[in-house]
Every structure is written in structure tokens, then in C-alpha cells.
A and B are shown apart, each in its own frame.
Chain A
């Protein structure tokens, strides 16, 4: 486990640290503010006020629940790629494209050279950090995923686009570290779908993280992990945050065949169902992981961002995560 690295960074976490993948659902008052802003009924300042209120709501809620490593909940983001495309130069907003069922997102279009010109997430990270004394993750989307989830008109090929993005995203990582972020999650959910491009994703992640003093997590979900394991272990990060409960924890079988060498944030609740898993189900999933991995390596969280659930469902699912982790922690201490 990279616990030693965390300690070097001054972060002391309990066994089975609990966290969440990043996004939480936007409370009704924020949804209304966003709708009003879209209709030009309110100004940006009023929207930002609602975003700050919602961020505070989720920071307080995570503290009440007893989550160990907090996130700001991404109240100010539309989605994980479009948000960064909005602030990086070289992108145009594309129209709506379906993600699944009745969910859609604005898929950006790369029409020029991508450039980072100023911090994107740093002010929100600082605001959230001011609300809590607990560790707070910096949350970014990785270059491979930004590339894969954008239309590419400017660059001649995917690798060139990906590496150009990596160079610019590193500047955001540096800006977060400069403000004090010590745990930074760089989401790469797209990484597992084109195994032939894993080397491109690894090369890009090196460009983003090499030589920087932070504990790096990468979140990957809804893909065929078997196609990129164990090669994915070459990604220069400390912790893989994986969607595992939705796929029946089948990743664990892979880990039995080839040793897993990083920390693992284990997804123990499904984010695409209204059903809230009870503590026993979550504990059982954790015990399954413990058969394969050392306890010091395991973090506990949902499969993916909870933004698609209602506020109450998200809270209930986080409650299940925390309760099960604590129970196991206590048993483990005995």
C-alpha cells in the first residue's frame, strides 16, 4: 500500500478509508438556479452562490456521515469532460449526445490547439477545503478520457490529441498542488475500452503526474478490465478507483490470477439503481475483496459518481458505504 506515501504527505487515514468517486446529485435549489440561469432569469453570481451552498451542503453531509476523504461534489460542473472543455482553449461546445437511457451530455469538439490558461478547479477546491478539516481530493478528468469523449477535428489522430491534453492538464495538477492538494484523482473511465491504446493512456498519465508530490488516484468504470489487466498497473498512480459491484466483483478473479500491486478504491454500491444496498451486502463485498487483497490496500466507495441518484438515495448509499467500512474496521481491530 502507498500508506507510507500518504504519511509522507502528512495524511493519516484509518483502515478502509471511505470516500466517494466525485459527483453528488445537485439539490433542488441548485437545479432551479441552473434552470433559471439557462433562461437568463438570474445572473452568474446568483448561480455561483447556489453552487457554493450546495457544495457546503455536501461537505457537511459527508462529515455527518463520517466519510474519511471528502470531495467537493462537483456542484459547479455539468459533466466531467464538458466542464474542462469549457475552460480549456481549443474546444467548442458540441450538441447533446446520449450517454444511456434518458441521459445526455454535451460532447465537446476539439477545433483548435488545446491550451490551459488559468486554474479551472482550484478556486472550488480552496472553497471546499475551507469548509472542512478532513482530507479533500482534487478532482480532474484525465487526458485520455477528455480526448476519447470529444470529437477531434483539429488534431490528426487520437494520440496527438491525448498527449497535447496531458501537457495542459498537468498545469492544473500543479496548480492544485501549489494550493495544498495532496490527494488528486484523475478520472480515466474511457481507458479500458481500446486496449490497443493503453500505452497512449499510460504515456499521457506520465506526462500528467511524473515527479509531482501527491497521492494519485484514477477512477475507471464500465469497461472490460480484463482487456487491460495487468497492463493497467503501469499507469503511474497509487490507487485505482474501480466500479466493481455493478459487475459482480469479477475484477477480483483477475487479481487472483495476477497480483494486484496498487491501492484499490473498491466500488461497493451500484450507482445506477434506486435500490440502496444494505450494510450486509456491502460488508459481504468487502469481505470478498479481503480474500484477494491486503486490508491496508483497500479504500471503500461507490462504483461511480452518485450524481445520477436522488439526494436521499446518494446519502443512503454513502451511509451504507461508511457503516460497512466502519464495521469491518472495528472487527479488524479486535
Chain B
């Protein structure tokens, strides 16, 4: 039984010891005119290396760059697109974390790579394969507003973001990304928009070359759309199992045509999962999914946890996996 252990997306970019405060200090000093953008970039690189090392040390098979450079999951991408300006703060879903809202003023265009350099850096520094992670076009569009006529409505915004991200997916695949994760948590709030998501993902899938395209949902129960998800042109489906205990049964009974990324470990609460309970969930899931191909990870990005607890959660993945394998023996 393989059961690949993976991180979800973000990793805390701060911790309680001095070195883990490096980026916070550098940004604050840059803002006061005491340091330069170069200094901040160096701090970001160092913190990325630390995040990569901690993930590897926790025993993960597939890591991320921790999204250390991201101010938030929305504006980090949108700010680099022409036709978009960044506005005030809004709450990110039901968290106590805030993103800056994109304001679409005109045609959305990718005039520069969005994540390519960050991905290449992580890939170069990592001892483990690195997953590339993008906030999806639908979620970007749902968190954007238009001004001065914008581009003419939500569908046009979605179209613009889709084209921009399709180009980024192509660039990441060309740079060697083997797994490219597209996150679409916003769809869970608007399940009737499934056809829109399907159209957008089809465009991304056409750009992925030989990379595996992963579609990931978090901050909600994907149960109501679970069967529809099987029809999407993606290689992997990432599901958050923390919102609905019966999702495990649904996957077990309905099966899946896709490789699953199993978000069984709660990325939003510090309480550690009972390994025996998680192992039983895996046993059930094995009835519907091929766990030899599956990924086990947190339910969402780990930036919502303190660093020590995030690290603990990642290490706990190995405990859960071993408990599960032990139960099979």
C-alpha cells in the first residue's frame, strides 16, 4: 500500500523562534524604509527553504513551497494580471484571515508569469517533488468585483482568469511540475455553477501537457457535487472530509474514477485526529478508492495553524498511515 503523504498548499510563514520571524521583520523594516525589496525576497527564499525542509522532515512524499510569498490566495495571482487592480480587505470565507479584493477594470491578461519563478525556486531547493498550487479561475472570479464596466460580467471575468491561468498551467508543466493543483473552494458555495467550472477546467486541462491536474475543494462539504466531480477532465480530486462525516461512506459506496487526495486531517483546528479513527476512515475509503494511488494530507492549507501545530499535523500523517497499514497486517 503506497498512500502518498502530501501537504495541501500553504504552510505558516512565521513561527515563534527568531529565524521564523525573519520574513515578518524584513517586511516591517522594508515598510519603514530600512530594508529593500531585495532583502524581503531573500527572507522569502529563506522561509521557503525552511518550509520545504520541515515538510520533508515530517515525512511527506509531495511538498509545496508553502506559499510563503503569498499575501493571500486571491491577490497574489490577481495583482500580477493586467486589467486588475487590488482593493481593500475582505474576510476569506469564514476564517479570521483577510484577502485584498481584485477589481477588474478591463480585459484580464497574463503579461508575466504568476508563479513560475516561485515554483522553480522551490523545485531547485527541495529534496522532494514539489506540487504547484494555483487558486482556480472560478474562485478568483467569485472574489472579484468590476468597476467602470469591467469586462462585462462574471462570465467574462471567469473567461479572463481561465485564459490567464491556462497559460500559467502550461508554463508550470513546461518547467517540470508533475502535479498542478487548482483550488476551487468557492464552487461549494455556488454548486449550481458546476457547468461554469467544467468549462473553465476543460481549458486548463488542455494546457497541462503531461502534468497531473488536481482539482481541490476545501472549507466545505463536496458531498452534494461528488458524483458530478467524476466527470471533470482532471486527474486528481482533493476533498475536505472535515465538514461531513458521511462523505467517507459516500466515497466508499459510490467509488471514484479519479485519484483522490484525502483531506482527513483538519487543517483548521489544533486537535490531533485519533489515528485509530482516521485509520478506520481509510479502511472504509479503500472500498471505493484505490489507496495505492491516493494522497493523504490536511483538509486545507496549514497557514491557519500555528507553525508548531502545522508541523505536528504533518508528522501525524505518518502516524495515521502506519496505524492504517498496521490494521491491514
Contact present for A193 and B89 (CB under 8 Å): no
Contact present for A98 and B307 (CB under 8 Å): no
Contact present for A222 and B89 (CB under 8 Å): yes
A262, B308: Cα distance in complex, Å: 44
A123 proximity list for chain B (CB < 8 A): none
Shortest Cβ distance from residue A164 to the other chain B in the assembled complex, whole angstroms: 17
Using C-beta atoms within 8 Å of the partner chain, give the interface range for chain B.
20 to 34
A133 CB within 8 Å of chain B: no
Q: How many residues of A contact B (CB 8 A)?
A: 28
Contact of B89 among A95, A107, A246 (CB under 8 A): A246
Contact present for A193 and B14 (CB under 8 Å): no
User: With A100-B72, A193-B91 known to touch, is A151 a contact of B98 (CB < 8 Å)?
Assistant: no
A94 proximity list for chain B (CB < 8 A): 270, 306, 309
Contact present for B27 and A102 (CB under 8 Å): yes
- Bitwise interface map of A from 88 to 115 toward B, beta carbon under 8 Å scored 1, else 0: 0000001111111110100101000000
Shortest Cβ distance from residue B235 to the other chain A in the assembled complex, whole angstroms: 31
Main secondary structure of the interface of A (DSSP, over half): loop
B121 CB within 8 Å of chain A: no
Contact of A99 among B93, B96, B307 (CB under 8 A): B96
A98, B70: Cα distance in complex, Å: 12
B13 proximity list for chain A (CB < 8 A): 98
A332, B99: Cα distance in complex, Å: 39
Contact of A95 among B16, B71, B88 (CB under 8 A): B16
Contact of B96 among A96, A109, A190 (CB under 8 A): A190
Contact of B94 among A95, A99, A153, A193 (CB under 8 A): A193
Most buried by A among B72, B89, B94, B303: B89
Shortest Cβ distance from residue A265 to the other chain B in the assembled complex, whole angstroms: 19
Other than A100-B71, A100-B98, A272-B89, give 17 A-B pairs with Cβ distance below 8 A: A95-B309, A96-B14, A96-B307, A97-B304, A98-B97, A100-B89, A100-B99, A102-B24, A104-B24, A151-B270, A193-B93, A193-B94, A222-B91, A222-B98, A223-B91, A246-B89, A273-B88
Where the two chains meet, the residues of B that have a C-beta atom closer than 8 Å to any C-beta of A are 12-16, 24, 27-28, 31, 71-72, 88-91, 93-99, 269-271, 303-309
